Chains A and B, each alone.
Chain A
Amino acid sequence: MSTAPASLAWFARHELTLSWREWLSMMTGGRRRRGIAIAVAVIVLAVVMHLLAYHMIGDSPPSGIDPDRATLILVTGSALLSWSLTLSQAMEMVTRAFYARADLDLVLSSPASARRVFAVRIATIALSTTALAVPLAAPFINVLAWSGGPRWLGAYGVVVAMGLAASAVAMALTVALFRTLGPRRTRFVAQVVAAVVGAVFVIGVQAVAILSTNTLSRFAALQSDMLKRLAPGNDSVFWWPARAIMGDVPALLGVIGASVVMLGAAIYFFSRRFAQHATAAAGISATSIRQRRRADAFRPTTPARMLRRKEWTLLRRDPWLVSQTLMQVLYLLPPALMLWRNFGDHGDTLVVLVPVFVMAAGQLAGGLAWLAVSGEDAPDLVATAPITSRNILRAKLEAVIGAIAMVLSPVVAVLALSSLYYALVASAGILTAAASATLIQLWFRKQAKRSQFRRRQTSSRVATFAEAFSSISWAATAGLAAAETWFALAPAVLALGLLALARALRPR
């Protein structure tokens, strides 16, 4: 293929270089030394994931190319679960590509074919989506191939096909949103749709499990008799992806062929419109939004109240940030459904809700605390105001705790109606997890723009891991405490140790 300037190959090389550097900078935060640490972490993670996959799959995966219906349902269900996450990721990338102004002016003002550039850009999105999906699936495929034979390696082909198909569908969905809603609303709606798409299958399967078996287990739903009765016949094309995963070569070729055709069609139809939509997206900052003048403006107030109100107003007016920070709340829907189903029941089933709420609180607090502490868009203004930095910090943390209380107190209140003990344990866990995540954000604060929220996890790996593991540990503590076992002390000690370690590693 020609690599002459402005040729497809030339643009492809340019796009791949940019994608690679972007990924590298996200992973290493621009520090060379981090590269080695990241490489070590990736190897450790790969080993852990393989062990986990071995534990889940065991020594005897289903073999043969004509498996029973239950296996087909289970494999198809699992594939759909991961495809929904891949689709969510692809939508996120397509939306970002539309709204990143970056080199748009340069591309559109150059004599090069814009269609060619955007065709390559869509292909790069497909490649990036696939590149993200492969490492997640690889441990399971490798374990299956090791214990069930090399025919399972065909699953790699299915993962690639899923990445390509997800990118094509994501492109079509985003363009459809653009045409129906316009550029301003699409950004928010596409982000929400991406989040919902990623969660809806998991939540949906959990909801079915709750309604049919009263558990949160996804696999319980996938193995139900009802699903076996409703599923299409064994010869249906619907099972091709599952058969392809299990090594059926014609099915594999069919699945790959279909995904290539889907991506080709997306490139053919949408590369022409890409420039048009990206230009429209770039122009949205020129349109103004009027706010209603508040009747209570300029009422006597305190600096702390003003700071809290500012934090809440900024959050409320940024739907994209809301969708990013409240993503965890989506996962509260199945537990809420379970709560509703078991309302008034004093049985032990509700104990599983306690760790879910605590985990959500920790994650939510991490995001909100970053926005309040690090994501200050006018740091000079706040720092030069006649208030002590301690009071500024206190007001901002009150804003974070207030937002968490607003989200979680209704579910805890309903839980209290069923079990006061569970509600008390959940409240203590929520407060502790939220306080821990907030403390970590305080120790690792680094001034940034709110628009850099997505990158907050790359600014400090220590902070990211500490935040995640402390939430997990506090969730485990609360779960075990709700189950009234002294084993709850073990994760609590672990969480405290993690906090001490994070504090010791904080930048000075």
Chain B
Amino acid sequence: MVNDRFPPALQVRGLRKTFVRPAVDNLDLTIRAGEFYALLGPNGAGKTTTLRLVVGLLQPEAGDVSVFGIDALADPVAAKKIMAWVSDEPMIYDKLTPYEYLEFVAGLWGIDAGDAKASAEDLIGWLGLGPHAHERCESFSRGMKQKVALAGALVHNPRLIILDEPLTGLDAGSARQVKDVLLARVRAGGTVLMTTHILEVAERMAERIGVIAAGRLIAEGTLDELRIKAGRRDTSLEDIFLTLVGEQAAAA
């Protein structure tokens, strides 16, 4: 549910980061508050680097990042308070239980203990982690670990949730639970920015889709707008994506 009364959930201007070659090259990106935005791109296009720059895990060489009007480079702590990050590899502590992990995350974000407890218990229930809430995570499957990581990202009730390939390695049931939780967050006013290689997920869940290649945003819009841009009506996102990326590669 897009809300234009608020400043953009995320505004990126002229973002640049170079490793051996430019990974993110003068990127401009705006995500509106309350929007579900999917960022697509071929391998090595710069999706993950972009997200890591936004959440403060990497320092850009140039550019601005603003989260709900807060300059994330000048005041990272204030920006981090309202953001959450979920990477493709679930990074949790094997020796903690999901319940303890959520308590730890809530403590790090310094949220009210009562709210944190209620939120943790809700998330554990929604994500089907109830029977395992007090078991150490070391015996969990990858999918369960990813759900714990997602619960950790949501326990402090962030306004902007940034996820890098969150559905990788999840079975159909777990993927559905994760998608439902994310959609519920958007319905409740949250904003989601997500990268995915599963185009069907982007097609069905995202209100707007951005396509990135060689560190630049090459197309952006709703599915219909992208169809028009690609010049292929009544076609799937997969065809549109391959057309756009192919054109970009040919132009390069």
Interface, chain A (partner B; CB < 8 A): 285-294, 297-303, 305-307, 309-310, 313-314, 317-318, 377-388
A275 CA / B138 CA spacing, docked (Å) = 23
B20 proximal to A (CB < 8 A):
no
The answer to whether A317 touches B136, judged by C-beta atoms less than 8 angstroms apart, is: yes
Please name all residues of chain B whose beta carbon is closer than 8 Å to the beta carbon of A285 when the two chains form the complex: 138-139
The answer to whether B109 touches A385, judged by C-beta atoms less than 8 angstroms apart, is: yes
The answer to whether A286 touches B113, judged by C-beta atoms less than 8 angstroms apart, is: no
Can you list 27 A-B pairs, Cβ within 8 angstroms, ordered by A?
Answer: A288-B135, A288-B136, A289-B135, A290-B135, A290-B136, A293-B99, A293-B134, A297-B103, A298-B103, A299-B113, A300-B113, A301-B107, A302-B107, A303-B107, A303-B109, A309-B104, A313-B95, A317-B95, A318-B95, A377-B91, A380-B55, A380-B57, A380-B87, A383-B56, A383-B57, A384-B85, A385-B80
Which of A300, A305, A378, A388: most chain B CB closer than 10 A?
Answer: A378
Known: A313-B95, A386-B109. A291 touches B85 (CB 8 A): no
Interface, chain B (partner A; CB < 8 A): 55-57, 77-78, 80-81, 83-85, 87, 91-97, 99-100, 103-110, 112-114, 116-117, 120, 132, 134-136, 138-139, 152
Please name all residues of chain A whose beta carbon is closer than 8 Å to the beta carbon of B152 when the two chains form the complex: 381
A388, closest chain B residue (CB):
B77
B106 → A minimal CB distance (Å): 7
A10 CA / B113 CA spacing, docked (Å) = 61
Known: A379-B91, A386-B80. A290 touches B134 (CB 8 A): yes
Closest 5 CB pairs of A and B: A306-B107, A298-B117, A386-B80, A317-B95, A385-B108
A286 → B minimal CB distance (Å): 6
A383, closest chain B residue (CB):
B57
Please name all residues of chain A whose beta carbon is closer than 8 Å to the beta carbon of B103 when the two chains form the complex: 297-298, 306
Given contacts A300-B113, A303-B107, A386-B110, 15 further A-B contacts (CB under 8 A): A288-B135, A289-B136, A289-B138, A290-B136, A291-B100, A291-B134, A301-B107, A303-B110, A306-B108, A310-B93, A380-B85, A380-B91, A384-B85, A385-B109, A387-B108
The answer to whether A314 touches B113, judged by C-beta atoms less than 8 angstroms apart, is: no
Please name all residues of chain A whose beta carbon is closer than 8 Å to the beta carbon of B87 when the two chains form the complex: 380
B193 → A minimal CB distance (Å): 14
Please name all residues of chain A whose beta carbon is closer than 8 Å to the beta carbon of B132 when the two chains form the complex: 288
A184 CA / B137 CA spacing, docked (Å) = 16
B55, B100, B120: which contacts A384 (Cβ < 8 A)? B55
Known: A290-B134, A380-B87. A386 touches B77 (CB 8 A): yes
A387 CA / B103 CA spacing, docked (Å) = 16
A291 → B minimal CB distance (Å): 5
A320 → B minimal CB distance (Å): 11
The answer to whether B93 touches A314, judged by C-beta atoms less than 8 angstroms apart, is: yes
Please name all residues of chain A whose beta carbon is closer than 8 Å to the beta carbon of B108 when the two chains form the complex: 303, 306-307, 381-382, 385-387
Please name all residues of chain A whose beta carbon is closer than 8 Å to the beta carbon of B136 when the two chains form the complex: 288-291, 317
Please name all residues of chain B whose beta carbon is closer than 8 Å to the beta carbon of A305 when the two chains form the complex: 107
Known: A291-B134, A384-B83. A377 touches B104 (CB 8 A): no
A383 CA / B91 CA spacing, docked (Å) = 12
A287 CA / B139 CA spacing, docked (Å) = 6
B112, closest chain A residue (CB):
A300
The answer to whether A298 touches B120, judged by C-beta atoms less than 8 angstroms apart, is: yes
Please name all residues of chain B whose beta carbon is closer than 8 Å to the beta carbon of A298 when the two chains form the complex: 103, 106, 113-114, 116-117, 120
Known: A288-B132, A300-B113, A385-B80. A378 touches B93 (CB 8 A): yes
The answer to whether A377 touches B92, judged by C-beta atoms less than 8 angstroms apart, is: yes
Please name all residues of chain A whose beta carbon is closer than 8 Å to the beta carbon of B107 when the two chains form the complex: 301-303, 305-306
B87 → A minimal CB distance (Å): 5
A287, A297, A301, A303: which contacts B100 (Cβ < 8 A)? A297
The answer to whether A297 touches B117, judged by C-beta atoms less than 8 angstroms apart, is: yes
B120 → A minimal CB distance (Å): 7
The answer to whether A384 touches B117, judged by C-beta atoms less than 8 angstroms apart, is: no
Please name all residues of chain B whose beta carbon is closer than 8 Å to the beta carbon of A314 when the two chains form the complex: 93, 95-96
The answer to whether A302 touches B110, judged by C-beta atoms less than 8 angstroms apart, is: yes
B78, closest chain A residue (CB):
A386
A290 CA / B132 CA spacing, docked (Å) = 8
A13 → B minimal CB distance (Å): 35
Please name all residues of chain A whose beta carbon is closer than 8 Å to the beta carbon of B112 when the two chains form the complex: 300
A380 CA / B92 CA spacing, docked (Å) = 10
A303 CA / B156 CA spacing, docked (Å) = 13
A385, closest chain B residue (CB):
B108
A385 CA / B104 CA spacing, docked (Å) = 11
A384 CA / B96 CA spacing, docked (Å) = 19
Please name all residues of chain A whose beta carbon is closer than 8 Å to the beta carbon of B97 when the two chains form the complex: 291
B83 → A minimal CB distance (Å): 7
Please name all residues of chain A whose beta carbon is closer than 8 Å to the beta carbon of B120 when the two chains form the complex: 298
A295 CA / B96 CA spacing, docked (Å) = 16
A318 CA / B138 CA spacing, docked (Å) = 11
The answer to whether B113 touches A301, judged by C-beta atoms less than 8 angstroms apart, is: yes
A345 CA / B91 CA spacing, docked (Å) = 54
B156 → A minimal CB distance (Å): 9
B125 → A minimal CB distance (Å): 15
A501 CA / B93 CA spacing, docked (Å) = 35
A445 → B minimal CB distance (Å): 16
The answer to whether A386 touches B117, judged by C-beta atoms less than 8 angstroms apart, is: no
